[in-house]
Amino acid sequence: MNIKESVSNIFIETTGFTPKRSLQTMLIGRPLATEDAPHQTIGKLIGLAVFSSDAMSSVAYGPQELMMILVAAGTGLLHLAFPIVLGIVGLLMILTFSYEQTIHAYPDGGGAYIVARDNLGELPAQTAGAALLTDYILTVAVSISSGVAQIVSAFPALYTYRVEIAVAMILLIMLINLRGVKESGITFAVPTYFFLVLIFATVIIGFVRLLAGTLGTVVNPPTLETNVLQPLTMFLILRSFANGTTSLTGVEAISNGITAFREPRAKNAGITLLWMAGILGSLLIGITFLSIHVGVIPVDGETVISQLARTVYGSRGPLYLLTISATTIILVMAANTAFADFPRLGALHAGDGFLPRQLTYRGSRLVFSYGIVALSVIASLLVIAFQASVTRLIPLYAIGVFLSFTLSQTGMARRWWKSGHLKPGEEIVEPGSTVRYDNGWKHKMIINGLGAFCTAVVMIVFAVTKFKDGAWVVILLTPVLVTIFFSIHRHYKNLARQLSLDNPAPKKPHIRRNRVIMPISGVHRGTLEALRFARTLSDDITAVHISVDAKETAKVEEKWEKWGEEYRLIVLNSPYRVFLEPLLDYIDKLAAVANPTDIITIVVPQFIPQHWWTSFLHTRTAESLRKALLHRENIVITEVPYQVK
């Protein structure tokens, strides 16, 4: 203990406590000191790898789920997937330009929550947050389920174990995240670029063989189980489009993480976003085009990527297996991204008092442990409930993302409006950024407004076309979550107001009389130890014994005569053999006649046995007494422990 600093009566010390090894440290590593928090920044190449796994991995399920809807109207209509994907890529472009503007406006991080909070108010911000939190959970469930679907495509024998594999993967990612990923960049770059190389190789080789005329069709395609064909309706096409838009989830990731970039960070982040969008768009188009061409059949048993890859490479050879592995890995990386984002957003909400404060607490490895565990548990339950089926999970997915897109873009549009109404040189300082006059505000407002409009339309399409399939869950859940957030907030605000010293209550007079009540079940060494302490508090000591057994009580009275040092003993007969109620009754009566300068101290003798298992052998009256008394006013509870070896 070395005292570092001393200001008047305040002493600051750093304790010599060093963490010990335990099962926990074996699993998640030795505790890290606060000052060990990393402060590195990354460049564009690494940034692309760190922030784009969510977006890029969605090429593994987006086109597939899009085609899955179309195929219900017959395999002959699968070619419609291509124009639909073009529409989705168009939407991607609009989103990209919108978010590019957000990045420049919010160089300290422009997630939907922050943008909505600064420009639209608390309700939209909490809504955006609730939507995003829901969607991060679904990102984990969908990505992992899709990852397992890739593995199962390559090794069909594992199909029966898909739920178990998925849950095991989630728990593994949880452990890794509780350890805290040292974001060295390289751990992200290797798998991401491995995936990009292999998936582009697949697409390019596919096109080359197509042009050379050697690209055949899928050998032994999986059989389709639906017999009854649905008619091709506008509704079907919109549903298919809605399913495809799940590919756009993750586009917002870079705008959340701008601070991680090297300076000029807004510029670097913006360029990275453009790259990401370009790559995502070309992959979506390439994969969909080739899939249609080789006659991929979208089913639950074998993924589109698997069918495409084995057709392009002509067999289930090494290149096929590498492609499948890379796809699985990028999907796991996407889930991993949610493990970074969910706890961070949760901590942001908690810091603003809309979620339990514990979420802001960094665990022994400097990560938001509670958030990580919560995410794993909920995602695992989802995977179990939906049997790790991407198709069954997808109707719940993306609706939250698009809601947050809409709110974020609306907030941006509003921000440009504010900006346009400032005089040059004027500033509005908001928690998330500073608003200044911008020459191009009209132009920029139109871009963000268009983004908001388009994403709103998609969201409505999504909500309507997939309502019955499961979207209703999210539509119902979001307002419920928002309500919970606000009641939590009310609780914290109310508490802070009541505890606050800013408007202090009239100063209470000093305590003049301390009346000590000592509930005893017997007279033993522990009792005397408590009495010894009680004497230091007051001379007004009353022992209270609840009598349920006349023989026992006689013993207590006799012993008190001998050992009670002539203090008062009150025996309360309890005809109904209850302990708590007569005592509380008695205390209430005492409290009713107390002066404001009186205080009642309940001294509870507690013998503490050495082994935990022995606690089953004792009635824990003291414990329930404590819980009941904590809610009484002007009562202090003192436990005098007596150790038994």
Binders of its own copies among residues 542 to 601 (CB under 8 A) are: 547-548, 557, 559-564, 566-578, 581-582, 585-586, 589, 599, 601
Binding flag, residue 536, its own copies (CB under 8 A): yes
C-alpha 609, offset from chain centre: 40
Binding mask 449-488 for its own copies (x = CB under 8 A): ---------------------------------------x
Q: Which of residues 377-416 bind its own copies (CB under 8 A)?
A: none
Binding flag, residue 637, its own copies (CB under 8 A): yes
Taking the CA atoms of 348, 351, 356 and 362 in sequence, report the sign of the dihedral they define: positive
Binding flag, residue 351, its own copies (CB under 8 A): no
Q: Which two tokens stand for residue 52?
A: 């784009």
Distance CA 526, CA 156 (A): 67
Binding flag, residue 9, its own copies (CB under 8 A): yes
Query: Least distance from C-beta 585 to its own copies, angstroms?
Result: 5
Q: Give residues with Cβ within 8 angstroms of 298, minimum separation 6.
A: 64, 65, 67, 68, 71, 78, 304
Cα–Cα–Cα angle for 47, 40, 370, nearest 5°?
Answer: 85
248: helix, strand or coil: helix
Q: Which of 233, 500, 595, 624 binds its own copies (CB under 8 A)?
A: 500
Binding mask 81-120 for its own copies (x = CB under 8 A): ----------------------------------------
Binding flag, residue 619, its own copies (CB under 8 A): yes
Q: Which of 21, 39, 510, 551 binds its own copies (CB under 8 A)?
A: 510
Start-end of H helices in 466-521: 472-499
471: helix, strand or coil: helix
Distance CA 135, CA 419 (A): 31
Closest CB to its own copies among residues 349, 466: 349
CA nearest to 62, candidates 435, 317, 334: 334
One-letter amino acid for residue 176 of the chain: I
Contact 61, 327 (CB under 8 A): no
Q: Which of 234, 501, 592, 593 binds its own copies (CB under 8 A)?
A: 501
Q: Which of 481, 523, 587, 625 binds its own copies (CB under 8 A)?
A: 523
Query: Least distance from C-beta 553 to its own copies, angstroms?
Result: 8
Query: Least distance from C-beta 44 to its own copies, angstroms?
Result: 33
Query: Least distance from C-beta 182 to its own copies, angstroms?
Result: 17
Binding flag, residue 219, its own copies (CB under 8 A): no
Segment near its own copies (CB under 8 A), from 95-103, 115-123, 358-366, 422-430? 358-366
Distance CA 50, CA 278 (A): 16
Binding flag, residue 212, its own copies (CB under 8 A): no
Contact 244, 65 (CB under 8 A): yes
Kindly report the backbone phi and psi dihedral angles of residue 546, in degrees, each rounded to the nearest multiple of 5, phi listed first.
-90, 120
Closest CB to its own copies among residues 181, 584: 584
8: helix, strand or coil: coil
Binding flag, residue 23, its own copies (CB under 8 A): no
Closest CB to its own copies among residues 475, 637: 637
Query: Least distance from C-beta 477 to its own copies, angstroms?
Result: 19
Q: Which of 526, 587, 600, 625 binds its own copies (CB under 8 A)?
A: 526
CA nearest to 403, candidates 444, 354, 352, 452: 452
Closest CB to its own copies among residues 79, 493: 493
Q: Cis check for the bond before 641: say yes or no (omega within 30 of 0).
A: no
Segment near its own copies (CB under 8 A), from 10-18, 232-240, 290-298, 378-386? 10-18
Query: Least distance from C-beta 361 to its own copies, angstroms?
Result: 7
**Cα–Cα separations (whole angstroms), residue 252 to 136, 446, 550:** 12, 19, 74
Q: Which of 127, 153, 288, 364 binds its own copies (CB under 8 A)?
A: 364
Contact 53, 333 (CB under 8 A): yes
Query: Torsion over CA of 590, 594, 597 and 600, rounded to 10 degrees?
Result: 10
Contact 275, 44 (CB under 8 A): yes
Q: Which of residues 24-63 bind its own copies (CB under 8 A)?
A: 31-35
